[in-house]
A and B are shown apart, each in its own frame.
Chain A
C-alpha cells in the first residue's frame, strides 16, 4: 500500500495553546483511517489544516506525493480532497439537489458559464441524484435544505462528499447529533464505501470507530500517541491510560 496523504512534523498553535504538536501522519490509499481523542485534542484543527482552511505554523503536508502545505483550500479540493463539517455546513437557501449538484459542478471544469440554465444540465443533475440516492435522500431532492432534519443534513454532507468525487474524504464527526438508529445506518453506509474511497474519519462514537476503521490514530493534546489497528489500539497501555482514563 502507498500513502495518499502524508504529514510530517505538523505544528499549529493558537496563542499559547498548542493545538497540533509535531503530528506526522500517514493515510494509505483506500484505507479508512480514524482519528480519536478526547475533547480539545485538536482533531478538527488537524482536519482544517489538511483541507486548507488553516495554515500550519510549520511542517509539511503531502497529497499524492505533492507538497500542498501552502495550497489554498479550493486548490486542494480540485486535487481531490473534500471534507464534511462537524457543524452542518450547507447552503440553506438552496434545494437539496442544488447543493449536491454544486459539488458535481465543481469538478466539471470551470463555472464561468453564464447562459445555459444550471438546473437544466442533465449530467450534473443526474450525478447529484445518484449521490442522493446513495445516501437515501433522493425523495427529498427538491425540498429546501432548511426544511430537512438534522439527521438528513448529516446525510447530505456525505452525499456532497461523494458527489465531489474526491479521492480523500475528511469526515469530521459525521455521526454528531445522530440517534442510535441513524448512527447505525450511517456506519453500515460508510462500510459500503470502504476500499472505494480513502477516508479520514474523526468520530467520538467508539463503537462506530472500532467497527469501521482499518487503522486508528490517537490524538491527545495535539500529539499522536499511537497509531495502529483497532486491536492494537484497544490493547495499547498509553492509550488506555491517556484516553480511556484507565489506570
Chain B
C-alpha cells in the first residue's frame, strides 16, 4: 500500500500544481509562464497517449509527432478555408467539427500505418514508425497551398460552445481538463481486461498467443486509441500556437515525446505528465543560461536513464517495490 499512496501523492501533487500555478502566474501578470504551462499540458496529453503503447504495450513508436501534426492541420486547414474560401466541405471555424476531424484522421492514419508497422518487431518497429512519421512530415512539407515549409498561420481559432480559445485562461483550462480526462481514460484502459492483454503481450507475447490472444489485433486497437488521443493534443497545440508547420511532425518531436515518457516513468499514469513538466521546465531554465543548453540537458537525461530505473516515478517510488 505504501507504493500506492506514494504514487497517488505524486499524482495529486503534480495535478494540483498544474491546476493552481499557471492561473496564478497569469493573475500576477506573468503571461509568459502561462504560455509555458499551456504548451506543457498539451504536450503532456501527447506523452500520456504515447505511454499507452510505449509504456504499457512495449511498442516503441518513434513517429508519434505525426498524429500531433495531423491534429493541428485538422484545426488549421478548415479554419484557413473558412477565412480564404475554397474547399467548402470542410471550411469551418466549428471546433467540434475540427476535433472530430483531428481525432478521426489520426485514428485512420494510426489504423493504416499500425496495421503495417505492427507486423514488425523491435528495432524494425521503431524504424518503420519513424518512416511513417517522416512520410507525414514530407507530405505537409510539399503541400504548398497550406504554406509548405513556411507553415500555416491560423487567423481564427476554433469556436467551441461556451469556451473562448482566444482567452489564455480558457485555453489552459480546456487543455488541463483534457489532460485529466486523458489520464482517466488511460487509467481505465490499462486496468481493464484489454489493458491486461496489452501488458501481457508486452511482457511475454509468446505466452499470450499460446493462451489464444490475437495480440496483433489488441496492439492495433491500442495504437489507434493512442494515435487518436495524440491527434486531439495536436488540435489543442494548433489552437495554442496559431501557427502550424511541418516542423511539428519532425522525428525530433517524436523523440522529445519519447523522452518525456521515459524521463517521467513509462508504464505509470502520471509519469508522462511529470516527464513533460520536467522536460519543458529544464529546457526553459537551461536555455536562459546558455545557448548550448542542449549539452547539459542531454547529459541530465542520459543520467536519469542510466541511473534511475523506471524514470522519475521509479525514483520516487523508492527501491524494493
Contacts and interface: CB of A to CB of B under 8 A. Distances in A.
A235 B295 CA distance: 75
Nearest to A102: B200
Contact of B192 (A53, A78, A98, A115): A115
Interface string A63-94: 00000000011110110001101000111111
Contacts of A77: 209-213
Contacts of A105: 193, 196-197
B213 A118 contact: no
A101 interface: yes
B196 A106 contact: no
Interface in A144-189: 160, 164
Nearest to B216: A74
A51 interface: yes
Contacts of A116: 192-193
Contacts of B189: 114
B212 A102 contact: no
A91 B209 CA distance: 12
Interface string B147-161: 000000000000000
Nearest to B198: A111
A103 B202 CA distance: 16
Nearest to B185: A114
A225 B212 CA distance: 33
Nearest to A117: B191
B30 interface: no
B203 interface: yes
B293 interface: no
B212 A118 contact: no
A107 interface: yes
A106 B191 contact: no
Q: Count chain A CB atoms within 10 A of each CB in B194, B196, B208 and give the residue with the most.
A: B196
A93 B204 CA distance: 9
Contacts of A160: 211
Nearest to B191: A117
A119 interface: yes
Nearest to B212: A77
Interface residues of B, number: 26
Nearest to A105: B193
A113 interface: yes
Interface string B272-299: 0000000000000000000000000000
Interface in B136-182: none
B195 interface: yes
A8 B277 CA distance: 62
A211 interface: no
B97 interface: no
A111 B213 contact: yes
Given A91-B200, A102-B200, A115-B188, A74 B213 contact: yes
B199 A94 contact: yes
Given A111-B218, A116-B193, A118-B192, A94 B203 contact: yes
B214 interface: yes
B231 to A, nearest CB: 18
Contact of A51 (B195, B203, B204, B210): B210
Interface string B88-117: 000000000000000000000000000000
Contact of A118 (B196, B207, B209, B210): B196
Contacts of A82: 210-211
A9 interface: no
A113 B211 CA distance: 17
B213 A113 contact: no
14 contacts: A53-B210, A74-B212, A77-B213, A89-B206, A91-B207, A92-B203, A92-B204, A102-B196, A103-B211, A105-B197, A106-B211, A111-B197, A113-B192, A114-B194
Given A73-B210, A102-B208, A115-B188, 8 more contacts: A77-B209, A78-B212, A89-B206, A89-B210, A93-B203, A102-B200, A105-B197, A106-B211
